[in-house]
Chains A and B, each alone.
Chain A
């Protein structure tokens, strides 16, 4: 292990990182950026790493990449598809290597994007945003997720460093056949309490060893996504976002957060999540596929799993936002999909930007709706054709309208994914109290808050 580690970082002597001055790495595109004429470049290859390893998102990128290559026959785009959890562990190393991919996926927040910006490994995109009109296509709330100060410390304002393809929100996937059997009309679930009552009813009607909610939490984020929409019923969305953006005075230790954590712990204790801790033994994708095969009445998770639900359940797959709490506004974890960056070391920044525009812009919309995805741009004419796709889009639109996208809590510090992932598992297994989870989470946040303020 030490050997592997050292080889990975070998090449630097003295103080580690010293020989890579920031200014040198942070290339800036020339004032004059090119948006056309790429036919004349001659044979050229773009290396791309996508973190969309499965389902609809992967299909969409495949389609769009093929169309891009048809538009520019001299351009070859080599896309490697990686699954998200493993790619975010490698992206920083890959970006820092001598031959990084030209275009690659990052992740919003301090763990990945903040570090990439700080180290000058990706290109600032303001020039291209102007040239391609991204500021008109995307909402300010979307672009905000990719804006950083040049030192990577202030998140949510400053220079633009990436753009995204789709709107990703979390909500309730329903197996409509099972709801019918239990005599539950999904349209009657107006409030969070209605939904909670439906869970109790389903627990009685479903076989004892079948979970009411199909959950996969082995990779430690399934439960966080599920909890996010419960949190949305108790905590104002703006408070959640302020905390994620590391605003002074924000805290995780609020009555709403405590209640929401107690609620999902109660769900686990009442057996809504299946027998024992078996949800900790499978990951998000496995749970989605089990739900598609008919396990559970609900799956509380990301709309990126829509095509898996549709393939499995067909007409019986439904999607709606978690019914709101007392405020009446829907709120759930959701954001633009992961940012796509251009490497600071690419030899073809203009071509890379053209590819970025092509796979995210208004014309890409059709490829997304064909795969039950919601385009992130607002100026596309593409509309979903199938019922589930329409429901997914309606869910996203409602959250945008209510100002209820609470982003992802793990963006708030480099170690938050691990801290919350582990403590949630501990809590759901009954080894840690909800208050302990809050304390550990807030401690992680505060340590990073001080670090940002300090140096």
Chain B
């Protein structure tokens, strides 16, 4: 019954389409499309592009945020390049990329391929649980992990219980461990996203490819590199882009858990933007850091898409 209805609808539409074809080639842009784009574009202009331009403008001033600012040209950018603390904050960001992007992607790939080929019971359940951190507000994540990492928190209690009290410590107060500790929180959050992306991606790789690989005598590892990895190129690009951007712009986790401390060991550019703009009254410098950070994110995101999402067969 439904089939008949569908078919008759197609037939009814057909004359109209034929008329369209006569006027313009299929897919040729129509001017009215701009009208549909306009609301989103205006919104973008107002809330993304406008503030970006204004931030750039501010970055050329020495301004305390309250009284009249003073034009200083590129002085703030010179500071961004020369100040060792600001430079260190960018280095911290790149360290975070390892924890936010590289580690979750590697783990996600490994687990995704195991899950697809092994007979794991309750996959849906595990997938949901592993994805859960993504759905929790970062502030909540931060507070939970501050508690886990606390000097008398569960992590240290567990270490003490198994006789490893020698390495227990206030993790977030330790100069060497604070940044990796926060990074692992990032791994925990991002891992689920990567896994879900890759699992979905593997579904659409034709099973015949795996059969062919097996007929050719490929082992599990060979099969992974020859079939799974190339098939996931698109998902890989998406996962890497998302997680890398998250690593570079992370703010709430660090603000809530360490506020850049101890010392400056977990200071990242976004925290510096906040501190300088709202605490220290150096809005111009904060704007300059923000502009550099934005530019950096653009470059890195662009580079990832170019490197990973390029299909050599095309």
Name A's B-contacting residues (CB within 8 A): 1-3, 5-10, 15-18, 20, 22, 88-90, 92-93, 96, 111, 115-116, 118-119, 121, 209, 217-220, 274-282, 414-415, 417-418, 421-423, 425-426, 429, 431-432
Contact check, A414 vs B280: say whether CB atoms are below 8 A apart: yes
Contact check, B169 vs A276: say whether CB atoms are below 8 A apart: yes
When distances are taken between beta carbons in the complex, the residues of chain B under 8 Å from A111 are: 279-281
Q: How far is the CB of A97 from chain B (nearest CB, A)?
A: 11
Contact check, A2 vs B262: say whether CB atoms are below 8 A apart: no
Contact check, B66 vs A278: say whether CB atoms are below 8 A apart: no
Q: How far is the CB of B170 from chain A (nearest CB, A)?
A: 3
Name B's A-contacting residues (CB within 8 A): 47-48, 50-52, 54-55, 58, 61, 63-69, 71, 149-151, 165, 169-175, 249, 251, 258-259, 261-264, 270, 273-275, 277-283, 286-287, 290-291, 293-294
Contact check, B67 vs A278: say whether CB atoms are below 8 A apart: no
Contact check, B51 vs A7: say whether CB atoms are below 8 A apart: yes
Q: How far is the CA of A278 from the CA of B159 in the complex (A)?
A: 15
Contact check, B278 vs A115: say whether CB atoms are below 8 A apart: no
Q: How far is the CB of B23 from chain A (nearest CB, A)?
A: 42
What 6 A-B pairs have minimum CB-CB distances, sorted nearest first?
Answer: A281-B170, A281-B173, A280-B173, A6-B51, A278-B170, A119-B66
Contact check, A2 vs B294: say whether CB atoms are below 8 A apart: yes
A1 and B270 contact, Cβ closer than 8 Å, known pairs A6-B52, A277-B174, A281-B171: yes
When distances are taken between beta carbons in the complex, the residues of chain A under 8 Å from B52 are: 2-3, 6
Q: How far is the CA of A8 from the CA of B66 in the complex (A)?
A: 12
Closest to B171 in A: A281
- Which of B150, B169, B270, B290 has a CB less than 8 Å from the CB of A275? B169
Contact check, A3 vs B47: say whether CB atoms are below 8 A apart: yes
Q: How far is the CA of A92 from the CA of B276 in the complex (A)?
A: 13
Q: How far is the CA of A6 from the CA of B273 in the complex (A)?
A: 11
Q: How far is the CB of B163 from chain A (nearest CB, A)?
A: 14
When distances are taken between beta carbons in the complex, the residues of chain A under 8 Å from B171 are: 281
Q: How far is the CA of A96 from the CA of B281 in the complex (A)?
A: 13
Q: How far is the CB of A211 from chain B (nearest CB, A)?
A: 10
A92 and B66 contact, Cβ closer than 8 Å, known pairs A2-B294, A422-B263: yes
Q: How far is the CA of A93 from the CA of B287 in the complex (A)?
A: 16
When distances are taken between beta carbons in the complex, the residues of chain A under 8 Å from B169 are: 275-278
Q: Which has the most chain A C-beta neighbours within 10 Å: B262, B277, B294?
A: B262
Contact check, A115 vs B66: say whether CB atoms are below 8 A apart: yes
Contact check, A218 vs B261: say whether CB atoms are below 8 A apart: yes
Contact check, B263 vs A121: say whether CB atoms are below 8 A apart: no
When distances are taken between beta carbons in the complex, the residues of chain A under 8 Å from B286 are: 5
